[in-house]
Structure 1
Amino acid sequence: MTEQQERTGRDETEEERADRKWLELIQEVRVAQTGVQILFGFLLTVVFTTKYDTLSDTDQTIYIVTVVLGAAATGALIGPVSLHRVVSGRRIKPQAVDWASRLTSVGLVLLLATMASALLLILRVAMNDDFVPWVVAGVVVWYVVCWFVLPVWTRHRYTQ
């Protein structure tokens, strides 16, 4: 068995592995991109509603932070596409895959923060209750478990 096969479990060259990893990454990013773009689009409309002017200063601040987080998440999750386009044909796909993967991870963290702050704002307006931060914290814990803890546990549990 070659060293390459031992490392990856596949009979593929470094370039073939980068191609495979790129396709897998792009499929993953498509899911997150769609969600963040829809959320960001809705967030952009809130400021133009009559309800926005009635929000407290705190709620308006939460809204602004949410929009900025949504913009940052959108940038990070669209970044891999731009990265690929700029470096395409330069024979650096393995490095591009690594950077695209990092951007995607940052984008997921920013998406988590965007979702949490949007949920906080919506529940504050809808419920106006001291229980809201606890509900948001519970949802954030759920996201962290689903998006980070379970994948890391699975990786640790089933790989050497």
Structure 2
Amino acid sequence: MDNISQANVPQAIVDYLSAQHVLTLCTQDPAGLWCASCFYVFDAATMCCYLMTADNSRHTQAMLANAQVAGTIAEQTESVLHIQGIQYTALAAKVAEAEIAAVKVLYCQRFPIAKLKSAPLWQLQLQTVKMVDNRLGFGKKHRWQRQPL
């Protein structure tokens, strides 16, 4: 889990990603596009989301073939003035063997039931994030992009 500079990450993005727990993960395989809702935990130090998912799921098989994924994180609201949400792109990878224990602790702190589950942990290394926050004015956006190393 390599840390990145937080200087250019809007605090609103960090706060929102930290407060939520379900993301929509969009993948593509030879049969076409596929989306799944997944529980996640966010690590602000690395700008990564971590999730646990079975090896035989369609989205896992798609991530094995193509690491580029996209998705959304959003609450449900009926008022356009209260819309908040994230659109993201990410690179997906199984959590490295040396990092599994630390990531599992982080994940199980957020989702204690995961202690009873045995499934691989995945890292979504966020590449781009666009957050819409209409609470600050209609169409207000915060953006972040990972800088090349």
Provide the TM-score with structure 2 as the length reference: 0.25
Kindly indicate which of the two structures has a greater share of residues assigned to helix.
1
The structure with the largest alpha-carbon Rg is 1
Q: What is the TM-score normalised by the length of structure 1?
A: 0.24
